[in-house]
Amino acid sequence: MEKLPTKQIYLLLIIIVGIIALSVYSTYAIFTFEGETSNIVSMYTPNSLTISEDIYEYKQITVGKNSYVTTDIDIYNAHEYEICYRVWYQVVDDNIDSSLVKLYQINSANELSSGVIAGVGSTRVSIIITNDNDRDVKVNIGLSSTKNEGTCSLNIKDNLSIITETISDYQELTKAIMNSPTSKNHEAGYLRYQNIKTPITLDSDKIYISDNYTYQFESFTLTNEQSIDLSELEKYQSTEEKKYYTCLNNEKQCKFLYQINTITKETIKDEITNQDKDIYKLTNYDKLIGYLKGTSGIKKITIDNQDNYLYYGDNPNNFIYYNCQNSQDLNTCELWRIIGLTYDQKENKYLTKIIKNDSIDSFTYSDNDSNLWNESNIYKYLSDEYKVNNYEYLEEITYKQTSLTDLSSNIDNINYLETSHKSKFHIINLTDYLYSSSCSNQIISTYDENCLKNNWLNNNDGTYWTMTAKVVESITNTDNDNLETTQEPVINKQVYSVSDTINLSNTKDSLLMRPVAYLKSRMLLVGGDGSLDNPYIIK
């Protein structure tokens, strides 16, 4: 028998060793070669496998619903010349939304999962796979490579995808929140909410403006102010060199101060005189909001026999970017805040509850005198009309509307009105507002004005809705046929609303509304520390 050449024997031994290794150990990476030459490339994690272009192999990874996995891919070049490579992936399940499966390279550098490996060299590619589908998915991971002939031209098939994004650092958002400091002492001061573009129509004929201000006794005061006609206001838009501020409403002192960035003039027809009339709108501005001296942080609250973690105080570090039009440009993101972590007993995971920092309009709660949440105008608007980006980040849950007889109740005695209606958006219950205060008392009526001011949820210049219904004493219904009686609460026309005080509002009142949502448990924190200057960034 003719002997095999030494080179072929060596190659055969490597292949046999690799196959044996794969049968003994579990492998976390996948391997394939699609080179245009007969180059040999090895990928191993933790095993070695030598692959030629005649062998097509890959590793299939299963990612659970609404979760993520991480894996390392080690690529080894056994030759003395350079090898070009690129990692690819393929979602193989046709019954899922492949756009909700994303791969990122975990790397502190700006390199992606492709490049050149030096002769007799190796590299490690660390990747993370996220799945926002409501079912498990299977993903194939493979490698294309070829000899570096001066350019790296790799033939990636049309049905394969490549990794285009990098995560420098990441952790689970819920763990980051639970591991953050429980409290923080700070001095009285003010927050600056930047780049707000919700138009404000200026109603008065005159307005006070200034290039400076002071903050004291919970109020801003314009200094060296001057009163001008609105027609002159366009001359006082802020520049890099000089800033201009106003209290609006022709006032010199205010709780909320506005830095004037952009003024827009519109001409309308006056309904009374039928003459043209100029109106002025503040369409780009920074809003400054004062806060008290106090303590903020995270506290543990046991609700329904389950520990929850909630932010409290006047200024906790719970800012987060959401609803970004472009994930690569944070200027397109909205500023939201984290209410806290609530435990989902069905999924056995914590969900992150968030609220939009600014109100999105005024609404009547209901037009039919009902204060049931699923019959409200707000519920219908949030379910049918409210549109955001990044829907895949949100968990659809069944909401529990709370009910309350009167403010003399203990917090623990607030009841639930069960509902089977699901949605991705709702608004706060009164309990969210009470727990966010720095007050520790349990009787609602003792949450006085000073106590409620020390509450980060009280950061709007108006009154906004909760979904907590006013109820009166239960009535007894008797079924004469079955001789059974049932107790049912009487729901009336009123709903609790909040500002510096807790109010009882008629369902036909027009009040502000702030959307609330739950982030999925798998959300990854990829940047930020939760402060206003550096909000959390998630993927």
For residue 460, name the pLDDT band (cuts at 50, 70, 90). low
Distances (CA, A) of 504 to 430, 448, 496, 498: 11, 15, 5, 9
Rounded average pLDDT over 376-403: 91
Q: What is the 3-state secondary structure (H, E, C) of 399-464?
A: CCEEEECCCCCEHHHCEEECCCCEECCECCCHHHHHHCECCCCCEHHHCCHHHHHCECCCCCCCCE
- Return the closest-CA partner of residue 57 out of 150, 140, 180: 140
pLDDT of residue 5: 53
How do 319-322 and 276-291 pair as beta strands? Answer: unpaired
For residue 57, name the pLDDT band (cuts at 50, 70, 90). low
Q: What is the pLDDT of residues 341-354, one digit of tens each?
A: 999 887 788 999 99
Tokens of residue 430, six digits: 């009164």
Rounded average pLDDT over 479-486: 60
**Burial status of residue 84 (CB atoms within 10 A of its CB: 0-12, 13-18, 19 or more):** buried
The one-character DSSP state at 299 is E
For residue 32, name the pLDDT band (cuts at 50, 70, 90). very low
pLDDT of residue 289: 85
For residue 41, name the pLDDT band (cuts at 50, 70, 90). very low
Rounded average pLDDT over 182-207: 84
For residue 213, name the pLDDT band (cuts at 50, 70, 90). very high
As a whole-number percent, the residues of the chain with pLDDT over 90 amount to: 38
Q: What is the pLDDT of residues 405-427, one digit of tens each?
A: 888 888 878 888 877 778 899 99
Q: What is the pLDDT of residues 87-112, one digit of tens each?
A: 889 999 888 999 899 999 987 655 66
The C-alpha atoms of residue 61 and residue 140 are separated, in whole angstroms, by 6
Tokens of residue 265, six digits: 């003039």
Lowest-pLDDT choice from 53-67, 118-132, 392-406: 53-67
pLDDT of residue 210: 96
pLDDT of residue 21: 36
Please determine, for residue 262, whether its predicted confidence score (pLDDT) is greater than 80: yes
Mean pLDDT of the chain: 82
The C-alpha atoms of residue 525 and residue 539 are separated, in whole angstroms, by 7
Q: What is the pLDDT of residues 495-532, one digit of tens each?
A: 999 988 899 999 999 999 999 999 998 999 999 999 98
Higher pLDDT pick, 17 / 185:
185
- Return the closest-CA partner of residue 236 out of 252, 253, 259, 257: 259
pLDDT of residue 474: 62
